[in-house]
Amino acid sequence: MRLFAALVPPDEVLDEISRAIAPHVGQVPGLRWPDRATWHITLGFFGEVPEAVLPELEVRLARAVRRHSALDLVFEGFGAFSSARRARVFWIGVAGDSMTRLADSVKAGARRAGATQTDEKRFHAHLTLARAKAETDLRPLVESLAGFSGSPWRAEHVRLVRSYPGPHVRYESLAEWALAPAEPG
């Protein structure tokens, strides 16, 4: 099973992003825009995980998630990996409470459970909006969306998601855990 852990933003926040990018979808040659139903913020990508590991993975992820408080977040700042001039991934950034400790805990729990392909790249909070097979200059796209800032929202749950790759990627939520209530103030 190909698995990852993620935050899934509320529909009303994703609606704002959809409206902002709508005039650009289909306008950049070579840029593929995945279905909005697949939008998420990846906390940890685990790759192929044997089914036998799933029960321990769920236990470890539940424990990791409970140690962290809900997060107050906002989408702002479009960008691209590896750079806007030589991009393969177009994304929107996430600001607010830091997700780095949560992402680190989730990845550590997955490793302890036996998910050996856990991604070790430095965490960069973002939501992927489009991909290109070849490097593409996305500077005009990124610049045209400068100044966008979405509505604040609270991330209160982490999901374990199974990915079914192929021409039409689809996701299945296998489990979901609540983060601890946010600290007042």
Candidates 24, 68, 124, 126; catalytic one: 126
- Residue listed under structure tokens 């946010």: 182
Task: Report helix angle 100-113 to 54-66, nearest 10.
Answer: 150
Question: Which pair of structure tokens corresponds to residue 84?
Answer: 């806007």
Rounded to whole angstroms, the Cα distance separating 185 from 180 reads 15
Residue 24 designated active-site: no
Active site residue 124: no
40, 68, 124, 157: which one is catalytic?
A: 40
Q: What is the DSSP string of 125-179?
A: -EEEEEEEEEEE--HHHHHHTTT-B---EEE-EEEEEEEE-SSS-EEEEEEEEEP
Active site residues: 40, 126
